[in-house]
Chains A and B, each alone.
Chain A
Amino acid sequence: MRFYEYEARKIVELAGIPVTKYGFCQTADEARKVAEDIGGPTVIKSQVLTGGRMKAGGVQFADTPEEAAEHAADILELEINGLEPVGVLVDPKAEIKQEYYAGVVWDGTAKKPLMLFSDMGGIDIEQVAEEHPEHVGRGHISNLLPVGDFEAKQVIAATGVTGSRLNRATPVLAKLARLFRDNDMLLAEINPLAELTDGTFVALDAHMEMEDEAVGRQKKLLRKDLGIAEDDTRDNYVPSRFEKNVKAIDAADHRGVIQGKDHGFSGNLGLVIGAGGGSLTLTDAVRSQGGKPANYSEIGGNPSVAKACGLAKEVLQKDGVEKIAVMMSIVSNTRVDIVARGVIKACLELEKDPAETIAIFRIPGAWEDEGAKILDHYGVEYCDRTVSLWDAAGRAVAKIQGASA
């Protein structure tokens, strides 16, 4: 789950990390009042869950409260990457001596949080790591043991920061690491972490991302501290027609499970696949055999004939689909004959010849003998468990390439 900048700032503040005086506003008048309260030049930032705000005109500087209100009015009307802002953040324009970067990310390889610090803040940490690797300090922290300040200090010291700067930056990174772990974050970064002219360190901008699976147990932070509604999922993903239709078919019938995705797929071989991780394996197998999948799907849990038929029909009706490959690893509760009936019925209802349309049917397991009888009746090639997933994918690809040639 992603957070808006004003929410990330609040999370940082709750963790005891100093922040500048700021205000979240949803009207120009509110922005004027916050700017008056701050006193002095301000920065007005669009609150959208997308990058490129500065380039799109979503970040403006103001010298007076009136100017802040004008900018806020403009920014509140400004769509960025198709998204409308939920408000603006009004920040003081800080007097900065130096900018740093402090972050904690989930290291999926080490399966531990990784602390990062750089004395070159304000720019992408990836760019710093590539061009100036000596300016990036790193250090893992335990998933269970308390985070010690000394661990943060080691990471910061690795960048050459010493003296009072080291002492002042250390609690910021240590607190960031603790908030990362306590709040089940995947990403917690402060960029820039500013050293002001008076020597204090404050978080000027923060980005946070929480593990989706943790949303249920972080109710205090989400509902009470941040006031985020339960139905606010922050999901900006717009499903395709295919994805929406498959979801509706699945929801209409409790028997079995189907899923379909086609974002990023534009091939000619439709996939009706599944079973015990089979979908990922089979999609990869089709690709590595030179095939072009038209979609990704998952079918399992012993669906009804209508559900299997519905998925196959949606796949067959996708633009560019010439044939479908029906493949699964060995099934136990899902019945081969039921899936066979479903995909054949889909072909017939679309007035297509199953023998020509189904490039391969490779589902071994429960009721496979009955399934084989049905497939044989309609002239569809059936593969049992003696044909590997890899070989089945290869046969499907060869058929469709032969048909296209």
Chain B
Amino acid sequence: MSAPKSLESVFIDVRIAEPAASDVELAKTLEEVCPVSIFKATDSGSEIVSGQLDECVLCNLCIEAAPDGAVTIVKKYEQ
């Protein structure tokens, strides 16, 4: 088995669909609710901190804070 190209996101990926990804207010909320700092609020919306993705504790607080279907958590080991 070869090592994955990026070891920053071995197990978990988090995706934010548009237009939620550009929502500055939602970005602040996501940054606040995530206990492991996966989201970073910027002037243009939400940014994913890739180095933190594998720390995701699957609490789903981000999914609950965003509009339905806007945030998706992908468990790479289930694919």
Are B54 and A353 touching (Cβ within 8 A)? no
Min CB distance, B21 to chain A, in Å? Answer: 25
| Prevailing SS type, chain A contact patch | helix
Chain B residues near A306: list those with CB within 8 A.
Answer: 55
Chain B residues near A355: list those with CB within 8 A.
Answer: 1
Min CB distance, A252 to chain B, in Å? Answer: 14
Are B1 and A345 touching (Cβ within 8 A)? no
Known: A348-B4, A373-B78, A374-B77. A304 touches B55 (CB 8 A): yes
Min CB distance, A369 to chain B, in Å? Answer: 12
The 8 A CB mask of B1-29 against A (1 = contact, 0 = none) is 11110010011000000000000000000
Q: Is A331 an interface residue (CB 8 A)?
A: no
Min CB distance, A316 to chain B, in Å? Answer: 14
Min CB distance, A377 to chain B, in Å? Answer: 4
Chain B residues near A344: list those with CB within 8 A.
Answer: 10-11
Q: Is the interface on chain A under 10, 10 to 19, 20 to 34, or 35 or more residues?
A: 20 to 34
- A377's contact among B4, B7, B54, B77, by CB below 8 Å, is which? B77
- A345's contact among B2, B54, B57, B78, by CB below 8 Å, is which? B54
Chain B residues near A373: list those with CB within 8 A.
Answer: 75, 77-78
Q: Is B58 an interface residue (CB 8 A)?
A: yes
| Prevailing SS type, chain B contact patch | loop
Q: Is A341 an interface residue (CB 8 A)?
A: yes
The 8 A CB mask of A344-363 against B (1 = contact, 0 = none) is 11001101011100000000
Min CB distance, A338 to chain B, in Å? Answer: 7
Q: How far is the CA of A349 from the CA of B4 in the complex (A)?
A: 9
Known: A344-B10, A345-B10, A349-B3. A338 touches B77 (CB 8 A): no
Min CB distance, A335 to chain B, in Å? Answer: 8
Min CB distance, A172 to chain B, in Å? Answer: 62
- A374's contact among B3, B11, B36, by CB below 8 Å, is which? B11
User: Which residue in chain A gives the minimum CB-CB distance to B58?
Assistant: A370
Are B3 and A341 touching (Cβ within 8 A)? no
Min CB distance, A343 to chain B, in Å? Answer: 12
Chain B residues near A377: list those with CB within 8 A.
Answer: 77-78
Q: How far is the CA of A24 from the CA of B38 in the complex (A)?
A: 60
Q: Is A305 an interface residue (CB 8 A)?
A: yes
Q: How far is the CA of A113 from the CA of B35 in the complex (A)?
A: 50
- B10's contact among A337, A338, A348, A370, by CB below 8 Å, is which? A348
Chain B residues near A348: list those with CB within 8 A.
Answer: 3-4, 7, 10
User: Which residue in chain B gives the minimum CB-CB distance to A344?
Assistant: B10
User: Which residue in chain A gives the minimum CB-CB distance to B1?
Assistant: A353
Min CB distance, A175 to chain B, in Å? Answer: 58
Are B7 and A349 touching (Cβ within 8 A)? yes
Q: How far is the CA of A349 from the CA of B7 in the complex (A)?
A: 7
Chain B residues near A304: list those with CB within 8 A.
Answer: 36, 55
Are A345 and B7 touching (Cβ within 8 A)? yes
Min CB distance, B58 to chain A, in Å? Answer: 7
Q: How far is the CA of A369 from the CA of B75 in the complex (A)?
A: 14
User: Which residue in chain A gives the minimum CB-CB distance to B51?
Assistant: A306
Are B3 and A351 touching (Cβ within 8 A)? yes
User: Which residue in chain B gives the minimum CB-CB distance to A338?
Assistant: B57
Chain A residues near B75: list those with CB within 8 A.
Answer: 373
Chain A residues near B2: list those with CB within 8 A.
Answer: 351
B interface residue numbers (CB < 8 A to A): 1-4, 7, 10-11, 36, 54-55, 57-58, 75, 77-78
A interface residue numbers (CB < 8 A to B): 304-306, 335, 337-338, 341, 344-345, 348-349, 351, 353-355, 370, 373-374, 377-378
- Not counting A373-B78, A374-B77, A378-B77, a sample of 18 additional A-B residue pairs whose C-beta atoms are within 8 angstroms of each other reads A304-B36, A304-B55, A337-B58, A341-B11, A341-B54, A344-B11, A345-B7, A345-B11, A348-B3, A348-B4, A348-B10, A351-B3, A370-B58, A373-B75, A373-B77, A377-B77, A377-B78, A378-B1
A-B contact pairs, 11 of them (CB 8 A): A305-B54, A341-B11, A341-B54, A344-B10, A345-B7, A349-B3, A351-B2, A353-B1, A373-B77, A374-B77, A377-B77
